[in-house]
Amino acid sequence: MEESTFPPMEDESLFIEYITKEWNVFMTTDKTEDVSPSLLWETAKAYLRGSIISYTTAQKKASMKEQLDLEHIIQNLEVQFKISRSKTILKKLEAARSALNQLLTKRAKAAIFFAKHKLYESGNKPGCLLAKIAKDLWKLNLSPVIIKIKKDLDRWQKLPLSLMGCVNLIKMSILPRLLYPLQMLPVLITQKVSCDTEKAFSKFIWGGKKPRLRIGTLQLRVLWEWLHAYLNSYSHLDSWSTLPYSLWSLAVCDKKKNNITNGD
């Protein structure tokens, strides 16, 4: 036998009775000769929609009240059972737990049914479900990490670190914390968050003073960009020296060139 499309409703008869009663009230009140059938039907749909919303809201409130009552009963029975260890209390406790489990299971089935038909079969495909699930990913995963990183950077400013020490500390300790959630979770960093994080990096690297180099410049390739002047300082010394022999060429030239220079 094929499975039913709709979940079983234990109070289906009560719902039908309620809707029938509301329909009769509406037809008795609003069905008159001067009202056209189309207007009557549109008005009836709006009235029934409000009645259904009212009914489901009342059912949710009753279900929540029943859950709170069962949790309170279970809590009291657990206290009594710890004191007396009575079999009668144990049976009551098991019955209350079973009723609570059935109530929560019924609510979970309703939530699954809603997600299936709202987001898949009758909605805008699975993208809506993914967006709903991923809505809080940033708040739960990346936001605490960024807050912790800023606190650590403020705390580490008191350490006696050099420029390269600060850069290496960011590379080895800070960036891995950001790479993992960004690679594993479908989230994007906004421009505001990126700018705030870069400002925190720049403040830490330059000790809270005015930056000598922009953070974008520090992110360039190491070999032939900004660090080239510091790693290969001889290139600048060589350009500053006078002809015919520069300071760098004098440091590495052979004895013949040294003799010529001394002879001059």
Q: Name the band, by pLDDT with cuts 50, 70 and 90, for residue 38.
A: confident
Read off the pLDDT of each residue in 14-28 and give the average, rounded to a whole number.
87
Contact yes or no for 196/203 (Cβ under 8 A): no
Give phi and psi for 30, each to the nearest 5.
-105, -15
* Position 160 pLDDT exceeds 70: yes
Q: Is it true that the peptide bond before 160 is cis, omega within 30 degrees of 0? A: no
Higher pLDDT, 93 or 255: 93
Q: If you ran DSSP here, which 8-state letter would residue 5 be given?
A: S
* Position 64 pLDDT exceeds 50: yes
Least confident of 37-51, 89-103, 172-186: 172-186
Using N-to-C axis directions, what is the helix angle for 175-184 and 143-156, rounded to 10°?
170
Q: Name the band, by pLDDT with cuts 50, 70 and 90, for residue 7.
A: very low
pLDDT at site 11:
62
| Sign of CA pseudo-dihedral 82, 86, 87, 88 | negative
pLDDT at site 240:
45
| Closest CA relative to residue 143, chosen from 173, 178, 104 | 178
Higher pLDDT, 234 or 204: 204
Higher pLDDT, 165 or 189: 165
Least confident of 166-170, 176-180, 183-187, 226-230: 226-230
Residues 10 and 67: their CA atoms lie apart, in Å, by 17
Contact yes or no for 103/63 (Cβ under 8 A): yes
pLDDT 10s digits, 216-257 = 777 666 555 555 555 555 444 444 444 455 444 455 444 444
pLDDT at site 260:
46
